[in-house]
Amino acid sequence: MKILVAVDENAYSRYAVRQAARLAANTWADVVMLAIEKNRSYIAEEELEPSHAHPRLRLLNRYRADFLDALGPGVDLYDDRGDAPFVRREDKVLEQELSGRKTFKLHLRGGDPVKAITSEAQAEGCDLIILGCGQHEGGWGRGSDVPGRVADAADCSVFVIREEPATSRVVCCLDHADISQESLELINQWVTIYAAGLEVVGVLKKGGLREEVEAKMGEVLDYYLKRDVNALIRVVDEDSLETFIESGRKDDLMALWLRHKSPLQRLFHSKRVNALVNHASSSMLILR
């Protein structure tokens, strides 16, 4: 698995970095940590200290230390040198290479945060984007809706993580049967990391549960029960799904499978995904 952790200067990013480290330690993931700055140009940049020319490099270094610290003792996956240089690549990305047994890179990009994050995820072939988010607002700058727009625009799964309290319940909304083993395992990872309960929610179409969705719910339930995960089932009418997601509490993690085949994808057109992610109280995991 390859994880992209997008960070800014807010406290929720530090929390996101720590959770990303816990996932990386469990899955031995390759990791790219990305900060974004406004596009800058200097007359003689080479004469400046990199950290003076690009203050966000200091931020990345601080989060790098947090990340390595949160991995816990005995996890020897990445290089922990603090003195590796940042190198400008041809595509203007500043990169610090800290790979050990697994890849670990710090990247700094310039420009619009949504474009920067989605381009980075695509360029690096990431499976999951993790980014922090403020309570009831997107964060990432005043009036910004960056997390929601990233969740909507990315090709891979996106975890928009809100600050503590830590998740106590993971809620998976299932509206179709085409879900991958990887996504089930990702859910399992978060359930384990948070020692949380799990609720599998089937979406009712016209008051009924489609046969294949019901069968998949049974399979998913068995999958988690066999792994000693405390899994529950519930259904929600398609018309009430948005209300249901919005009713999630701060200590919930709402997981939605959005695929081209998924009716949820149709139901939650771009603006709704954006609004749901930005305004929900709970953390949101968009699975693709």
Partner 1 sequence: MDMLKALVPVEMTLASNVALRYLCRKAEMLGIAVQPVHVEEPDHKPHSSETGWIRRSWESGLRQAGLEEVQRILNSEKLDCFILPNPIVRVGDREDTLLEELRLGGYDFFVEGEVANFNTGAFRKRLRSKLYRQMPCPVLLVRNMIQSDRLALVLDEKTDVESLAARFHHLFGGRDVDFDLCAYAMDDLHQDPHPDELLSEGGEILGSLGYRPARAFTLLGAPETAARNLGDYGMIVAHMDRKSNRKSPLTEVLGLASSPILICW
Could you say which residues in the range 208-247 bind partner 1, by CB under 8 A? 209, 214-215, 217-218, 221, 225, 230, 232-237, 240, 244, 247
Per-residue x/- marks for partner 1, 66-105, CB under 8 A?
Answer: ----------------------------------------
- Among candidates 154, 119, 138, which has minimal Cα distance to 8? 138
Nearest to 173 by CA among 284, 20, 19: 284
Q: Is 202 in the site for partner 1 (CB under 8 A)?
A: yes
User: What residue type is assigned to position 13 of the chain?
Assistant: S
Strand pairing of 128-133 and 87-88?
unpaired
Q: How far is the CB of 56 from partner 1 (least distance, A)?
A: 41
* Planar angle of CA 30, 186, 119, nearest 5 degrees: 50
Only one residue has tokens 């999958």, namely: 223
CA gap 8, 37 in Å, rounded? 9
Q: Shortest gap between Cβ of 169 and partner 1 (angstroms)? A: 9
Given a contact cutoff of 8 angstroms between Cβ atoms, the answer to whether 21 and 191 are in contact is no
Our CB check for partner 1 shows the closer of 2 and 227 to be 227
Site string for partner 1, 100-129 (x = CB under 8 A): ------------------------------
Residue 261: CB minimum distance to partner 1, A? 22
The interface region with partner 1, picked from 49-57, 79-87, 198-206, 273-281 by CB under 8 A, is 198-206
Which of 147, 47, 57, 44 has the alpha carbon at shortest distance from 94? 57
Q: Is residue 132 within 8 Å of residue 13, measured between CB atoms? A: yes
Q: Which of residues 240-279 bind partner 1 (CB under 8 A)?
A: 240, 244, 247
Token pair for 272 = 């709704």
Residue 199 near partner 1 by CB under 8 A: yes
Residues that bind partner 1 (CB under 8 A): 197, 199, 201-202, 204, 209, 214-215, 217-218, 221, 225, 230, 232-237, 240, 244, 247
